[in-house]
Structure 1
Amino acid sequence: MSYTVPPTRTAAVVRQLRNEIVTGELPPGTLIKDAELAARLGVSITPVREAIAQLSVEGLIDIAPNRTRHVTKVTQKNALELIDVMSVLACAGFEWGVENLTATHLDLMRQRQKEFVEGLRTGNVLAAGAAGADFSTIAILASGNRELQSMVDLVVARTLRILAMGAESDLWQVWTTGHDEVLELLERGDNQGAITRYRQIYADFRTLVANHLFRE
């Protein structure tokens, strides 16, 4: 019988803080205080400090030379740089994995796409983001390159944070429409067309972020 192993306290704190940062519950610039977080989350200082270190690696928390910690601020410049990095990693993984996709993979991608759309419909940004990320993960893992997926995992939370910032904009539509069209091409056996369309998602996303998300 299969079951889900409960996360460690550190993993649970990482997940909680990551979710709060991605959704904006902890806004950019928020001062992070170990003792206050530990008291609020009902854990000791140690898992909080370990979680902060992990989220610093992910780029969600800045640690200053004087050891003060703040939620990382998002500027147009670093958002566009992040999208460029994510595009290189995810598109390479998708291209490497597409030839190995089976009917089972496509069924899973279709299911994640439905969950993505449903999450958006119900306003559950976290669920939508997780399902949308899984859509790409299925193809990337099909490449057999788990090191690449590990690199994608390091930047995906920050990408979801940008999407959450644009929850009322057309940013999500770029992904939902793009995923639908990628699936249609894959199901027709047009792998090269699917790769091209997948790359276009990132190009369109970058354009929207550059032209609209940070406009005063």
Structure 2
Amino acid sequence: MSYTVPPTRTAAVVRQLRNEIVTGELPPGTLIKDAELAGRLGVSITPVREAIAQLSVEGLIDIAPNRTRHVTKVTQKNALELIDVMSVLACAGFEWGVENLTQTHIDLMRQRQKEFVEGLRSGNVLAATAAGADFSTIAILASGNRELQSMVDLVVARTNRILAMSAESNLWDTWITGHDEILELLEAGNTAGALARYQRIYVEYRAKVEQDLFDD
């Protein structure tokens, strides 16, 4: 994922609203009002409307036939389906790229893992999410398929919004442990084992989401 300074006001509004939705600051069902958002963010109506349209495409905002807009509501079915889609896309990218990883790639993945853990320890979920996503991005981009990465980014943003995990959520443990073990396997030159461990992260993650968030 790219977290550089947005080049336009619309991009800045998209990032701000996406972050607020992902972190739960704007919870599911929240009514989105153009003028109210424009005033709060200090921009005109146009970039706000363009941002809402973009976030609607991403599945973060629902636009009703009467044109009212709400933050997309969460359902168990939607959450698990998104995880399944994310698994298919990310695992395909990791499989295509893992054989192309160099020591430089692995060192960068280790750095992102460190930032991931540090972000969670400091309670900065957005920084942790970005670093955690970059861990996978490094391997996926090593495949040379940037189109796939853009699709992964889209699904990751929607999945994170639906789960809206706090820094204390035990769901992060699945990723922390998985990443650490993947790095050990890569350092040992065991790319097949690293791929299998990466795939297992999604199996474990899905099971924990279903049990911990939807057990009642």
Query: What TM-score range do you get, normalising by the shorter chain?
Result: over 0.9
Matched, 1:132 2:132: yes
CA distance in 2, matches of 1:53, 1:156: 19
CA distance in 2, matches of 1:211, 1:5: 38
Structure 2 SS opposite 1:165: coil
Segments ≥4 residues shifted beyond 4 Å: none
1:158 aligned residue: 158
TM-score of the superposed pair, with normalisation by structure 1: 0.95
User: Is contact 2:105–2:138 with CA below 8 Å preserved after alignment?
Assistant: yes
1:1-216 residue pairs with structure 2 within 5 A? 7-165=7-165, 167-216=167-216
Identity of aligned residues (%): 86
Cα deviation digits, residues 104-150 of structure 1 (max 9, x gap): 11111000000000000000000000000000000000000011011
CA distance in 1, matches of 2:162, 2:205: 10
CA distance in 2, matches of 1:46, 1:138: 35
User: Is contact 1:125–1:164 with CA below 8 Å preserved after alignment?
Assistant: no
Which residues of structure 2 form unaligned runs of 5+? none
Cα deviation digits, residues 19-78 of structure 1 (max 9, x gap): 000000000000000010000000001100111111111111111111111001111110
CA distance in 1, matches of 2:162, 2:197: 21
CA distance in 1, matches of 2:182, 2:160: 20
CA distance in 2, matches of 1:169, 1:211: 13
Relative distance call for 1:6 and 1:151 in structure 2 (3 A) is: closer
Which residues of structure 1 form unaligned runs of 5+? none
Q: CA deviation at 1:167?
A: 4.4
Relative distance call for 1:111 and 1:27 in structure 2 (3 A) is: same
Q: CA deviation at 1:5?
A: 6.0
User: Is contact 2:60–2:158 with CA below 8 Å preserved after alignment?
Assistant: yes
Superposition RMSD on alpha carbons, in Å?
1.3
What one-letter code is carried by the residue in structure 2 that aligns with 1:61? I
User: Is contact 1:166–1:213 with CA below 8 Å preserved after alignment?
Assistant: no
The number of equivalent residue pairs is: 213
TM-score of the superposed pair, with normalisation by structure 2: 0.95
Q: CA deviation at 1:158?
A: 1.7
CA distance in 2, matches of 1:155, 1:193: 25
User: Is contact 2:121–2:167 with CA below 8 Å preserved after alignment?
Assistant: no
Relative distance call for 1:185 and 1:194 in structure 2 (3 A) is: same
CA distance in 2, matches of 1:5, 1:76: 34
Q: CA deviation at 1:163?
A: 4.5
